């Protein structure tokens, strides 16, 4: 099987070359055919890897290094992509899948454009497959085969982390296809309304899974690592955040190009940047330059090959833009005080925020390369990224009501008074019953402001309750996404400003009070799982008439020789009581005291609910192609 899969991967390489050749020559039918054949061949090759993991075939080096007979079956399958070589095979599969989908779904009156887009995508897939087969082959055999494997990294044996890489890759590689569309448009010198209608769906198809993938990674870190937070500004977290920010800017820029024919060069540049930042994300995670639980470190040689690929592909993309962008049509002129101007301001802010994150992520690596040790953490991002994004969020409800061409600014003072009133209300509540800091009050006011703005915008379009169900899915998608952004802001602010953290030291039968909860240690026992054993504490937490039994664990995986923390979380609807088990220490009297990290995280679920609503809103916008009356269409663009 594995040799057949290896052969199929080389066959996919050939098909990608043919796709690229016929596509760049302008043969739409042949390029689409070979895109489908390449995906089929790579699909079979990837299936053989999954099959090898499922049956614990330790004669395959990848399986021997990342699987174990005692590992649960689901995690055996996830082990296929829970490593460098397998993850790159998944990258290639997704890339060829986008090429096949493009060959099947692209329907326009521009066959040359479609053909060139498939040709560029074929070139990108050719490069990925060449790296896989000649630098990071997952098909290598071992002779003799070991009797047992080394096991998957225990931190990756988790449902969220099993789904997390495929979701991220759908986003990363999705932007490679948007870049292929942009490259084809640049070659033709046409980034226009028709191009934007074609590209919008593909940009959303990348944005939605990337959003969900980031959320899954964040939630995994929250409940698995035992530190009680949802975002750590880890370089690998930043690696996925940067293409997400550029992708958000790209979506808004495509709207202007589709509706007005403007921003053609800017939209093309954002498509190029989204592709470059996706490549950068892959390089940071898989090159070995970063040390993180999220990353797959490899040897320096393969890291150098990845860096060369990043520089060549990213550089070629930027050179293509520099050569062809001056030939693009500028579209109609626009004013800063218009919806076009507002969306350009949004794009600029998101781009500046992205490069702020890039600087904070790469500067420590650059300093280390010259012999300096510099740490860039949360304080840097709070002082730079947060104010930049807050500026955009304050303006969002105001400018989304502006008209195309020229906005009516007569009601601007009403918006200013409205926001000031919401801030004042939260400040007064903060001084009184809520007991929150002034900056947190501004943050909560901003979240409510965004939700209010989303509701006000859809009401402005509908005007009556009877028309609300008739609003286009695109409008509902925008409303959900912007409301989700507000809910996210509320959750992030409350969780960051209102979280309490306490270290407890308890012996069996002892009770201590934390944030209104009486926490009693009932016992600590040893338990055993399929490929791990653990110390498990049983605690009873009581507040008012509510009692919850919680069982945090400290696990040890013998095959990987690695411990992990399994937290216990009790959800109340308004907060999470979160407990992580520490070490046990015996005193002189022979009594053992166990340490626990206890957190009370208010409204943490709002963070994830907000992100899900953002993804759902983008998904509705992607599905929002339906027949509308002329009046509905005019109101949507009003």
The dihedrals phi and psi of 116, each to the nearest 5 degrees, come to -70, -35
Sequence-ordered strand ranges (E) for 53-198: none
Burial class (CB in 10 A: 0-12, 13-18, 19+), 319: exposed
Residues 6+ apart with CB under 8 A from 25: 115, 119
Band the pLDDT of 254: cuts 50, 70, 90.
very high
Band the pLDDT of 297: cuts 50, 70, 90.
very low
Whole-number average pLDDT of the chain: 89
Q: Are 430 and 385 within one domain?
A: no
Q: Are 492 and 507 within one domain?
A: no
Per-residue pLDDT at 566: 92
Q: Are 521 and 592 within one domain?
A: yes
CA gap 217, 197 in Å, rounded: 31
Q: Which of 486, 459, 502 is nearest to 598 (CA)?
A: 502
Q: Are 16 and 96 within one domain?
A: yes
The dihedrals phi and psi of 27, each to the nearest 5 degrees, come to -90, 95
Per-residue pLDDT at 588: 73
For residue 621, give its domain range. 399-498+611-636
Per-residue pLDDT at 45: 97
pLDDT digits (tens, 9 = 90+) for 430-444: 665 567 788 888 999
- Segment among 19-33, 39-53, 427-441, 514-528 with least mean pLDDT: 427-441
CA gap 478, 475 in Å, rounded: 5
> Given the DSSP bridges, would you call strands 511-514 and 562-566 parallel, antiparallel or unpaired?
unpaired
Q: Are 471 and 549 within one domain?
A: no
For residues 123 and 559, the model is more confident at 123
The stretches of 136-234 forming alpha helices (DSSP H) are 159-188, 193-224
Q: Are 233 and 332 within one domain?
A: yes
Q: Are 363 and 451 within one domain?
A: no
Sequence-ordered strand ranges (E) for 267-317: none
Q: Which of 265, 268, 313, 310 is nearest to 289 (CA)?
A: 310
Specify the number of domains making up the chain.
Answer: 4
High-pLDDT (> 70) share of the chain, %: 94
Domain end point (choices 398, 413, 432): 398
Q: Is the pLDDT of residue 633 over 60?
A: no
Task: Please state the length of the chain.
Answer: 638
Q: Are 382 and 279 within one domain?
A: yes
Per-residue pLDDT at 295: 47
CA gap 450, 481 in Å, rounded: 10
Q: Are 90 and 216 within one domain?
A: no
Band the pLDDT of 275: cuts 50, 70, 90.
very high
pLDDT digits (tens, 9 = 90+) for 64-97: 998 888 888 888 998 899 888 999 999 999 999 9
Q: Is the pLDDT of residue 291 over 70?
A: no
Q: Are 226 and 340 within one domain?
A: yes
Per-residue pLDDT at 534: 93
Query: What H or E segment, with its residue span, contains residue 616?
Result: helix 604-622
Domain end point (choices 156, 188, 207): 156
**What is the rounded (10 degree) CA torsion for 475, 479, 485, 487?**
-160
Q: CB-hemisphere CA count at 13 Å for 610?
A: 21
Averaged pLDDT, 349-366: 91
Averaged pLDDT, 532-549: 93
Residues 6+ apart with CB under 8 A from 500: 514, 515, 599, 600
Q: Are 357 and 403 within one domain?
A: no
Band the pLDDT of 152: cuts 50, 70, 90.
low
Q: Are 527 and 445 within one domain?
A: no
Averaged pLDDT, 136-162: 85
**What is the rounded (10 degree) CA torsion for 350, 352, 356, 359?**
120
Domain end point (choices 398, 430, 447): 398
Q: Which of 298, 276, 277 is nearest to 287 (CA)?
A: 298
Buried b (16+ CB within 10 A) or exposed e, 510-528: eeeebbebebbbeebeeee
Contact yes or no for 155/78 (Cβ under 8 A): no
For residues 162 and 322, the model is more confident at 322
């Amino acid at each position: 099987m594995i040799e057949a899969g290896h052969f199929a991967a080389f066959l996919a390489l050939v098909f990608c070359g043919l796709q690229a050749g016929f596509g760049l020559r302008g043969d739409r039918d042949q390029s689409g055919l070979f895109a489908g054949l390449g995906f089929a061949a790579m699909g079979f090759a990837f299936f053989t890897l999954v099959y090898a993991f499922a049956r614990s075939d330790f004669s395959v080096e990848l399986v021997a290094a990342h699987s174990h007979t005692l590992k649960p079956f689901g995690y055996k399958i996830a082990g296929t992509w829970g490593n460098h070589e397998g993850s790159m095979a998944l990258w290639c599969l997704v890339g060829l899948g986008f090429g096949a989908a493009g060959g099947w779904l692209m329907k326009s009156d521009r066959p040359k454009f479609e053909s060139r887009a498939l040709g560029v995508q074929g070139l990108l897939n050719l490069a990925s497959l060449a790296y896989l087969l000649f630098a990071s082959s997952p098909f290598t055999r071992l002779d003799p085969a070991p009797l047992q494997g080394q096991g998957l990294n225990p931190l990756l044996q988790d449902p969220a982390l099993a789904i997390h890489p495929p979701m991220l890759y759908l986003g990363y590689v999705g932007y490679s296809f948007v870049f292929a569309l942009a490259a084809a448009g640049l070659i033709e010198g046409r980034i226009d309304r028709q191009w934007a209608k074609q590209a919008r769906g593909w940009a959303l198809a990348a944005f939605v899974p990337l959003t969900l993938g980031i959320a899954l990674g964040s939630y995994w870190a929250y409940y698995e690592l035992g530190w009680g937070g949802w975002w750590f500004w880890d370089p690998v977290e930043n690696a996925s955040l940067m293409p997400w920010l550029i992708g958000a800017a790209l979506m808004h820029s495509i709207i202007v190009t589709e509706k007005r024919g403007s921003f053609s060069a800017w939209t093309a540049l954002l498509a190029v940047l989204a592709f470059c930042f996706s490549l950068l994300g892959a390089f940071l995670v898989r090159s070995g330059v970063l040390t993180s639980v999220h990353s797959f470190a490899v040897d320096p040689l393969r890291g150098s090959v990845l860096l060369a690929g990043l520089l060549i592909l990213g550089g070629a993309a930027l050179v293509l833009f520099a050569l062809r962008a001056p030939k693009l049509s500028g579209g109609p002129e626009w004013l800063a005080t218009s919806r076009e101007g507002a969306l350009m301001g949004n794009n600029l802010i998101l781009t500046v925020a992205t490069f702020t994150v890039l600087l904070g992520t790469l500067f420590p690596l650059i300093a280390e390369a010259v012999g300096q040790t510099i740490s860039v953490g949360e304080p840097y991002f709070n002082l730079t990224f947060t104010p930049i994004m807050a500026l955009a969020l304050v303006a969002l409800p105001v400018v989304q009501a502006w008209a195309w061409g020229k906005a009516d600014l007569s009601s601007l003072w009403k918006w200013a008074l409205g926001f000031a009133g919401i801030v004042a209300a939260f400040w007064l509540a903060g001084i009184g019953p809520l007991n929150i800091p002034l900056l947190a009050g501004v943050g909560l006011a901003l979240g409510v402001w965004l939700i209010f703005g989303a509701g006000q915008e859809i009401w402005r379009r509908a005007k009556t309750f009877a028309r609300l169900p008739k609003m286009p899915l695109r409008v509902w998608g925008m409303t959900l996404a912007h409301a989700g952004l507000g809910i996210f802001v509320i959750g992030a602010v409350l969780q960051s400003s209102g979280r309490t953290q306490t270290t407890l030291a308890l012996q069996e039968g002892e009770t201590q009070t934390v944030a209104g909860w009486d926490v009693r240690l009932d016992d600590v026992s040893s338990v055993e799982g399929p490929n791990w054993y653990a110390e498990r504490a049983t605690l009873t937490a009581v507040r008012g008439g509510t009692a919850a039994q919680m069982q945090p664990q400290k696990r040890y995986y013998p095959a990987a020789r690695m411990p992990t923390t399994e937290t216990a979380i009790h959800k109340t609807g308004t907060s999470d009581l979160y407990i992580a088990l520490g070490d046990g220490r015996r005193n002189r009297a022979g009594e053992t005291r166990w340490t626990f990290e206890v957190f009370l995280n208010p409204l943490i679920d709002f963070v994830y609910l907000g992100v899900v609503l953002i993804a759902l809103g983008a998904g509705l916008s992607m599905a929002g192609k339906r027949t509308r009356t002329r009046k509905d269409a005019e109101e949507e663009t009003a």
